[in-house]
Amino acid sequence: MTLTQDAAAAALREIDAAQAQSRALFNYSKASPYLVLWGTLWVAVGVMTAASPANTGWFWLVADLIGFAACIYFIRRDRPKVSQPRTLATFRFVGIALVIAGFFAAVQALFGPATGTQTMALAALMVSAIYMGMGLWVGARYVAIGLLLLALTFVGVFVVPDQAVAFISVAGGLTLALGGLWMRRA
């Protein structure tokens, strides 16, 4: 059997499409626990913030520590077993977390004191931008989740400004958690 140029080109296109879809599905399945984890934490903080707005900062500190520890556990559990040692995977995650925290702190330092709503909106917009950017490389579901989070952030700030922190936490958290479940079912 000999193939024509057209048949070879068509086969290579099929290969590219199947590989892209496979990578996206694999990535979704690996990302799902992280979205469910952080979404649940956001919802919990939102509910507690609605009950006790003065303690929002403490709630986020505890939630971030829990999320950080759980992410390290997931990363060490799910790392590629042959190619990546546990410590390297952990260092990479810590590095990414430091970059994000550093960027967040730098923005706050440059733009001056921020209200709770502005701080919450900035965090949500960062997460939204990260997901939309990832989605352009990995898969459309990230883009959808990022876009919804972006829209909900603006709804929180402009439609319910008095409850924006709690609203963005709960609605954004639900978006992340349900998005994670959506990815797991992909």
Partner 1 sequence: MSADPIHAPNEVIHQSVRLKIMSALNALPRTESLDFARLKAITGATDGNLGAHLNTLEQAGYVKIDKDFVGKKPRTTAIITASGRSAFENHVAYLRDILDNISSS
Instruction: Sketch the per residue contact string, 34 through 73, with partner 1: x for CB under 8 A, - otherwise.
Output: ----------------------------------------
Q: Is 14 a residue that touches partner 1 (CB under 8 A)?
A: yes
**Count of CB atoms situated within 10 Å of the CB of 174:** 17
3-class state of residue 168 by DSSP: helix
| Cβ pair 60, 42 in contact under 8 A | no
From 19-27, 96-104, 115-123, 146-154, give the range in contact with partner 1 by CB under 8 A.
19-27
Six token digits for residue 136: 């352009």
Among 23, 77, 86, 92, binds partner 1 (CB under 8 A): 23
Instruction: Sketch the per residue contact string, 79 through 108, with partner 1: x for CB under 8 A, - otherwise.
Output: -xxxx-------------------------
State how far the Cα of 13 lies from the Cα of 8, in Å rounded to an integer.
9
| Cβ pair 44, 56 in contact under 8 A | no
Q: Is 22 a residue that touches partner 1 (CB under 8 A)?
A: yes
Q: Is 18 a residue that touches partner 1 (CB under 8 A)?
A: yes
**Count of CB atoms situated within 10 Å of the CB of 69:** 9
Q: Is 140 a residue that touches partner 1 (CB under 8 A)?
A: no
| Cβ pair 153, 173 in contact under 8 A | no
Q: Which residues bind partner 1 (CB under 8 A)?
A: 1-5, 8-9, 11-12, 14-16, 18-23, 25-26, 80-83, 186
